[in-house]
Structure 1
Amino acid sequence: MELSEEWKALLPIRHSFNSPLLSSSSSSFGPLIFNPKPKTLPKTLFSSPSLFPPLPPPPPPVSSLPHFLSTSASIPYCISSSISSFLCDDFVDDHPHSISSFLSHNRLCFLPCPDQKLYLLFFSTGLNHDHIGFLVIHIQDNELKVLGNDGGDVLLGGNHLNGHRIRRILVNPDGDESDPTVVGQLMAYTMYSVHWYCVKIVESSKVPVLHYLGSKLFKKSIIGCCWSPHLYEQSVVLLENGALFLFDISESNLNREKLRVSWDHDFSTGSGKKCEWLGCEFSWHPLILIVARSDAVFLADFRPYNKCEVTCLAKIQMFNLSLGHSASEIEKERFLALSRAGSDGFQFVLASRSSLLLCDVRKPMMPLLHWAHTLDSPCYVDVYQLSELRSQARDDRYGWATASGFCILLGSFWNCEFNVFCYGPSSSASEGSVVGKGISKFCKPFIAWDLPSDLLLSSRDCPCGSCLVKQEALKDALPEGVDWRQKKEIVVGFGILNREFRELMSESDEFGGFTLVRLMSSGKIEAQRYCASWDSVKKSDVAHTQSKESWLNFGGDLLYSFCDAEYKFHKKFKFLKLDYLKGYLNGKLAEIIYSKMKMPSKGHLEKEILSINSHEILCKKLKACGFARFKNSPVIGLDDISVPTSIYEIGLKQMWATLPMELLQLAFSSYRVPSDDNESPSEFLAVPDIPQLPPFLLRDPSSHSSSSKVVQANDSIVGPLLPLPVLLTLNEFRNGRPNAQATCAFSSEVERRRRCNEVLKVVSDDDRNEKGVDSQKSKRFLVYHPDPVGVEGEPSAKEQLQGNSVYTDKKFHKLISKVKDEGQGSCSGPTDGAGLELFDDLCPIKLEFNAPAITLSSQELRALKTMKEQFSNWQKGFKPYQELRNRRKF
């Protein structure tokens, strides 16, 4: 069946079947695959840390949220992986700008200077990549050379961006012959501002300079900009809300005009998803623009006075049927990139998730060519004449194809994948009659000359199957949250030198080739020669022979910003000896201390740390905290309970209270700053002002600054400087044992358990009153387990502790609270002068507020009484609380 050109264009060109617009024989067009020239290595032209790309830490993997939903223990029921992935579709933005916005554009911009026989390379640089940097490429002795500043670094433009990161740089070759020193215009935009420059080369020094022309600040985020190919000094800016601004720049002024355009709702695709603007390009007329959105492409014609006519050129849904997409794939389909094609301004190329389209503004909704690609979210697209990629060919058999063909380069810097799509007129049209040639010149019945081929921008990857499988395995082996791009050197920008410049190097190949200059993520600028070939590279000998881990160990994180300033502060390193900790964990702390005590002291004894005044202050403060008060009492620490406390904590308080003052002076000290600059300061927490024994619940850092050189005499002390197990072991040596072997067998953990058992015995004797033994004696303590449920019929505390309860540390199984004395909390009504004791009878345990005394007025007491009655009524109806009172006989 003979199909029309319109129907042919709807059938995608793909590997699975032959499209009517795919040439059946590519031999008549010459080789269309471009490979790095064999047996040649990339030449490093320049290297600097200032060229590292400005990437933040990589985003978490897309699978993190589904993995959390399907594996998290906090979710009470199981969620399958398919359901979790479905739920995450509404939360995870799969648009490429959310994944690779920092590498969505080419970070290397080329400005040719044919009269000067130079090339200017522009890029962003600086700590935040807020400066315009550039280098000069010239040819010397048939080789490419790079010129920078006198210090061997990059040349810099003026600092006019005020610290804002540059998102993209665009250049416009010189179109004005009035000033011979001007070689072009440059435009750089950040998220909210656009800056214009004039590029000049001073005749005397041959050094390029950037002359600042002006800037414009916007309230909305900038999506894209473009230079006019018709009027040299005009440019257009597209904002995130679809607003368009036309600028006309000159050295004397900067004129701005907002282009009034209404994006009518009739062009809506009805997908229900938020649409994002992608970019804009000039069409065949200075007042006609092509504006792309993620769901549609429009032609905006501003030629009518004070009016804009909008035509829809393409919609995302019109290609879904021809690709055979499922419903879910159609929902995710969107346009990703836009670029001009050819010099006449009628054609443009458009890339989506799965398609590449060659369109013409004269044929809305009907592409000229339609390819199906397999690239992952491509966000870069550009069109080259085939003569730019097959220049200086020794074999001229395919000269007509070289002169009339085009190549579309589509790919992603983030994913390191690029494909070349070749197209042009059919061979029959070019070899036909004069009339046929004339018709084809205007109608341009393009066909695809071959299936797309890979373009290896980096020559460090081997395309053989063994290396590809090996690299994928290494990617999967990286820890979660570490992106493989952090460990691999990738290409973040490139440019192709034109034919006139390459002819100066006298390089030629059988079927032609090109020279590519690329910017690597390691901060290097390299040059690589490519040649046209009939077949793709099956194996790269240089890359294949490298170690399998070399590409993942390229010296750290390559895609992070690097600070070019040196570290200005003095570096100090303090090494900690952990032999005491190791001995404690292995139950051999006493042996370690005993062996240290037997070693002879080296050098002179240290000077006395504390003065006499500081010593007296320390002893006074320790005694006020309760140290050495209850050396012979079996109920050490129980009288000081003000909040529910575990038996473990009470046992620790008892051990601290029984230590002698000589050892406590080793554990606590006045704050001391080091007198020697080589000594590293140590910061300890201050002992609270409220008299209490350790362990301290809440504390603040010392009030002294570690940078001070003067020690003020005051009553503030810090500590403990030594842990309790060490002090207990030293106390055992101080008391003396019959022999060293018995002393070394001492265990601080055994001593702790003994003290805790003593406390538990005292509390258990008190708790026997509940069972009728000595029932006349008042109950002093309440012992309970921290049961998270606390309701009858639920598992007991013991069962929960052995199961999946959060209370897994047996040191804190039993808590003790002090019961208030008889008669406490007898306030029955508001009386003048009553304070916080008004609430004592609402709680069975003794309440101690760490607050100054409060005197309440009559009005405040009446309000508190009302609140107290409401709380008391709630207690009477709360069943677990009433059961506790009845069980404990409160």
Structure 2
Amino acid sequence: MEFSEEWKSWFPIGAGGSTVPLLLHSNPSKLGPLFFNPKPNSITQIISSLSLIPSLHLPPHLLPSRFLVSSNPSSILPSTASSISQRFSQNDTVSYFIHNRIQTLNYPNGSNVVLFFPTGDNDDQVGFVMVSVMGSKLRVVVDENGDVFRALVGGGGGGGGSSSSHRILRILINPVPDFGDECNVLAYLFVTTLYSVHWFVVRHDSILDRPSVVCLGGKVFKTCSIVNACWSPHVLEETLVLLQSGELFLFDLESNSFKGTRLRIAWGDDSDENKVWVSCEFSWHPRVLIVVRSDAVFLVDLRLDECSVSCLMRIEMFRMYAPERNEQFLALSRAGPDDFYFAVASTSLLVLLDVRKPLVPVLQWVHGIDGPYYMTALSLSMLRSHSKEDSFKFASDTGFCIILGSFWNCEFNLFCYGSTLPVQNGSSASMLSKIETSFYAWELPSEINLSSHECSCGSCLLREELSKDVLPEWVDWQLKKEMVLGFGILSSNFASLLCEADEHGGFTLIRLMSSGKLELQRYHSSWTPVRYLDNCHEEELSLDRYALYPMSTEQYKFPRRFHYLKFDYLHSYASGDLMQFLTKKLKNTSVDVQDKEPVATEMHEFLSEKLNACGLGRSRSCPASSAVFKEVKLPESFHEIALRRLWADLPMELLQLAFLKYSECREVVVDQHKVALEFLAVPDLPQLPPFFLRKPSRHNNNDIVGPVIPLPVLLAVNEFRNECSDSEKGEFSIEAELSLKYKEVMQVADEIAVSAHDSMQLDDHAVSLAEDGEEAWVGSSKVKAFPSYRPVAFNCSTTDLFEEKSVYTDKVYDTFIFHVAEKFSDQTESVGEEMFDDLCPVELRFNAPVKKFTPQGLKTYNLLKKQMSNWQEKMDSYKEFCIQSRSQKVVKK
């Protein structure tokens, strides 16, 4: 089947399949060599300084995600942690390595180049050095201390001193074409941080014979962060800034005003929190802009009074060839041959666009790069300059290339394209090339090794993977190897002063390494890629030679002391053999638990009073599960109720071991001093553990604290005391005991719900414990209703189920019950805290002294209650809670 050129553009190069895309091969060819390899023995170190190493303030090594993992099936802990661990596993370190950290400025004479980069304690200063060529040798111009020059953000230049505390994320240069005026202005510099932008002017100091950089001013955005910014290619002093909210600001340095003009653009009503703004650029006109969002590419026309916004491309158009489900646009760049062409990179694809042909790609490639946030487009003549022969000069002049890659993942690919070439070079061919509108990919994408230190042979790749496996899982291997943090391609005039011409041409690269070195490397064009590097193959690979972690010039002055704690009980419990471990320990103990002296009578009375208040004082041998429900006031899961059931089963002797006076807590030796262990005080409210919201206040010696012994240990000790056969054989399982109690509690709740429904005609989720026969409430003749509900956070959407990202759905953990507050009557003259019971379905409990309200206070309360009722009626989440729990809200307006 024969496809038109426009239809062929919809098939990405490198996607496979039987369809032939817009691809030209170079053998036989008029294109010339399109692979670029590092030239052996061409590395020259320019400078090595600590000022070139990024000042990273990385998060702790042990991130929360290390502790939020799925618990194994034998564990009693809820596995909902696995559903939120991914929220903590996002690596913010990648954001430090999205942008190119080095920018180059070529002098008009071609013999000098200035290198700009962030520096300072927080990367908050503009650092720069000048490199010149004298007699085919490099000369580096630095300050009088042998360090890099610094320009302060906010004022001053060339010296030290304090600077802004904001980290510099991007540096953009706009060279002045008519250098040589009386001001000696070389370029304008544009610096962006997370919330601010700053402008600099770069001049040549004829007295010191070096550049000087002075800050002109800046703008701070207090309410929204900066996404991207760019210089205008049409107006020298204009810059464009894109905010995270989608707002665009235009600044003009000629007006000496740094307030900027906010561009009034209506993006429509399809805003979504999952759609983020990516980048912006000027198009073929000073008031025609390209703005990229994660889901679309927009053309913004500001030439008329009313702004016009049209869509150039949508991400849905590439779903067919995008293997990623969450495909989105990531980067934007201007591309050749003129200002009508742009390149946009998504998660899987690289697309060449023409603003005159919306919704139709010019070319597409499958790039195969993980996180391609960096992209730049060049003329092919820049990469094949300074050649010995000109047989491919016409192809170099008419061809273009795009460098796409990721500094974090240390991979970059080269994408070459252009029009079809005529058989003969001549005036007619030149005219045809201008008329030709179809573009073809020249060869498949090729990898370019910017570091020139990485051999791609099988042995080196295997050794690198093995070295990664040796590192702890919380350490990023990228931070343990030498990375390329930025690079710049020098002009052909500067490169010709340093090296001889290559056969088919090449380019000279200056790169910034994570080890703090600026290196110069020569690349030459070749017909085939080189994967084997002789100078790197034999090197011993070690990922611990370089470490991009915060470095301190001060040594630690204090003595290092380490204290070791023995967690043999915790280790045994995590391994699933706590019962066997305790059995062995108790058998080897000379004093039996039953032979210990009884605890003070005061503690016995305290615990008895607590149990009686919870309705468990009549029979301590085998309390009923329904009795534990009496204490349920606030929403609690079946997991918590089952734990309370287990606490209620424990005999008084073991409870007295778990709760002590603060003065009776054991002391441990720390730094040759005895220090009492810290435990939380038992609350005054009548309740069983696990206690809810205890205040971590200071204790006095008479406070009752606990539990000082975990429940699993007490269960195992209780089983040992009873001398069960299961414990002797090692068959007793704490997890199995908990599972049994879970089922018992859930069964009782279901039976009570049925009984309540039959006798009271309540809804399906109401639970009444008044009809429970022998286990009737003690001292209460009123019905206690217990609705159940499942929080909205546990509700999985269709997308979550499709992507298998649903949270833990065990009824034991995600089903909650609570006690419904009784209706309140305000006919009395003075009332207490019960008046709050009709504000919400949950019965409120106050850990405060009882107070009575006067009629005037009650009047104020009714007014506030009316306002709260109006707020509840408008709150969707509250109404959903009431509907799901099937509890009626009792509010009097």
Q: Deviations over 1:532-570 (max 9, x none)?
A: 1111113112221012xx331215xx222323x424x74
| Aligned mates of 2:396, 2:439 — CA distance in 1 | 15
The alignment's C-alpha RMSD in Å is 4.9
Q: Verify: 1:283 aligned to 2:283, yes or no.
A: yes
Q: How far is the alpha carbon of 1:47 from its aligned partner?
A: 2.6
Q: Verify: 1:572 aligned to 2:565, yes or no.
A: no
Q: How does 1:396-795 map to 2 (within 5 A)?
A: 396-428=390-422, 431=424, 437-547=430-540, 550-555=541-546, 558-563=547-552, 565-567=553-555, 570-572=557-559, 685=675, 786-787=714-715
- Does the 8 Å contact 1:130/1:162 carry over to 2? yes
Q: Deviations over 1:745-764 (max 9, x none)?
A: xxxxxxxxxxxxxxxxxxxx
Q: 1:521 to 1:58 in 2, by over 3 A?
A: farther
Q: How far is the alpha carbon of 1:143 from its aligned partner?
A: 2.6
Q: How far is the alpha carbon of 1:50 from its aligned partner?
A: 4.8
| Aligned mates of 1:149, 1:796 — CA distance in 2 | 82
- Does the 8 Å contact 1:15/1:451 carry over to 2? no
2:219 paired residue number: 216
- Does the 8 Å contact 1:61/1:480 carry over to 2? no
Q: How far is the alpha carbon of 1:90 from its aligned partner?
A: 9.2
- For 2:54, the aligned partner's letter is F
| Residue of structure 2 aligned with 1:240, choices 244, 250, 253 | 244
1:166 paired residue number: 168
Q: Verify: 1:805 aligned to 2:804, yes or no.
A: no
| Aligned mates of 2:461, 2:32 — CA distance in 1 | 29
SS in structure 2 at match of 1:100? helix
SS in structure 1 at match of 2:394? helix
Q: How far is the alpha carbon of 1:39 from its aligned partner?
A: 3.9
| Aligned mates of 1:31, 1:63 — CA distance in 2 | 48
| Aligned mates of 2:85, 2:298 — CA distance in 1 | 28
1:226 paired residue number: 230
SS in structure 2 at match of 1:367? coil
2:298 paired residue number: 298
- Does the 8 Å contact 2:105/2:115 carry over to 1? yes
Q: Verify: 1:264 aligned to 2:268, yes or no.
A: yes
1:311 paired residue number: 310
| Aligned mates of 1:498, 1:135 — CA distance in 2 | 17
| Aligned mates of 2:408, 2:380 — CA distance in 1 | 26
- For 1:460, the aligned partner's letter is H
- Does the 8 Å contact 1:189/1:195 carry over to 2? yes
| Aligned mates of 2:219, 2:26 — CA distance in 1 | 53
Q: How far is the alpha carbon of 1:648 from its aligned partner?
A: 13
Q: 1:646 to 1:797 in 2, by over 3 A?
A: farther
Q: Verify: 1:206 aligned to 2:209, yes or no.
A: yes
Q: How far is the alpha carbon of 1:239 from its aligned partner?
A: 0.4
- Does the 8 Å contact 1:175/1:232 carry over to 2? no
| Aligned mates of 2:466, 2:245 — CA distance in 1 | 43
| Aligned mates of 2:602, 2:259 — CA distance in 1 | 80
| Residue of structure 1 aligned with 2:113, choices 109, 113, 119 | 119
SS in structure 1 at match of 2:382? helix
Which consecutive residues of structure 1, in runs of 5 or more, have no partner in the other structure?
Answer: 579-632, 658-666, 670-679, 689-699, 703-783, 809-841, 843-859, 865-870, 872-890
Q: How far is the alpha carbon of 1:530 from its aligned partner?
A: 0.8
SS in structure 1 at match of 2:532? coil
The aligned length equals: 632
- Does the 8 Å contact 2:299/2:311 carry over to 1? yes
- Does the 8 Å contact 2:329/2:345 carry over to 1? yes
- For 1:230, the aligned partner's letter is H
SS in structure 2 at match of 1:135? strand
Which consecutive residues of structure 2, in runs of 5 or more, have no partner in the other structure?
Answer: 155-162, 566-594, 608-651, 679-695, 699-711, 738-778, 780-829, 835-844, 846-893
- Does the 8 Å contact 2:110/2:493 carry over to 1? no
| Aligned mates of 1:863, 1:355 — CA distance in 2 | 64
| Aligned mates of 1:235, 1:54 — CA distance in 2 | 28
SS in structure 1 at match of 2:194? coil
- Does the 8 Å contact 2:43/2:520 carry over to 1? no
Q: TM-score scaled to structure 1, two decimals?
A: 0.62
Q: How far is the alpha carbon of 1:511 from its aligned partner?
A: 1.0
SS in structure 1 at match of 2:500? coil
Q: How does 1:58-207 map to 2 (within 5 A)?
A: 68=70, 73-74=75-76, 100-115=94-109, 117-160=111-154, 162-175=164-177, 177=179, 178-207=181-210
Q: Deviations over 1:87-112 (max 9, x none)?
A: 78996898xx9672211111111122
| Aligned mates of 1:2, 1:48 — CA distance in 2 | 60
| Aligned mates of 1:514, 1:559 — CA distance in 2 | 29
- For 1:261, the aligned partner's letter is I
Q: TM-score scaled to structure 2, two decimals?
A: 0.62
SS in structure 2 at match of 1:552? coil
Q: Deviations over 1:381-419 (max 9, x none)?
A: 111111111111112211111121111101101111100
SS in structure 1 at match of 2:310? strand
SS in structure 1 at match of 2:24? coil
1:11 paired residue number: 11
- Does the 8 Å contact 1:137/1:147 carry over to 2? yes
Q: Verify: 1:341 aligned to 2:342, yes or no.
A: no
| Aligned mates of 2:69, 2:655 — CA distance in 1 | 39
Q: What is the identity percentage for the equivalent residue pairs of Structure 1 and Structure 2? A: 39
- Does the 8 Å contact 2:152/2:164 carry over to 1? no
Q: How far is the alpha carbon of 1:445 from its aligned partner?
A: 2.2
Q: 1:313 to 1:566 in 2, by over 3 A?
A: same
- Does the 8 Å contact 1:45/1:527 carry over to 2? no
| Aligned mates of 1:863, 1:382 — CA distance in 2 | 68
1:332 paired residue number: 326
Q: 1:446 to 1:51 in 2, by over 3 A?
A: same
Q: 1:49 to 1:785 in 2, by over 3 A?
A: closer
Q: 1:789 to 1:19 in 2, by over 3 A?
A: farther
Q: How far is the alpha carbon of 1:352 from its aligned partner?
A: 0.9
SS in structure 1 at match of 2:389? coil
Q: How far is the alpha carbon of 1:478 from its aligned partner?
A: 2.4
- For 1:566, the aligned partner's letter is E
| Higher mean displacement: 229-238 or 633-642 | 633-642
1:830 paired residue number: none
| Aligned mates of 1:639, 1:512 — CA distance in 2 | 95
Q: 1:117 to 1:276 in 2, by over 3 A?
A: same
1:379 paired residue number: 373
| Aligned mates of 1:388, 1:188 — CA distance in 2 | 26
SS in structure 2 at match of 1:10? coil
- Does the 8 Å contact 2:44/2:519 carry over to 1? yes
| Aligned mates of 1:14, 1:116 — CA distance in 2 | 39
Q: Deviations over 1:632-666 (max 9, x none)?
A: x996985786878989999xx9xx99xxxxxxxxx
Q: Look at both structures and tell me which one has the larger radius of gyration over its CA atoms.
A: 1
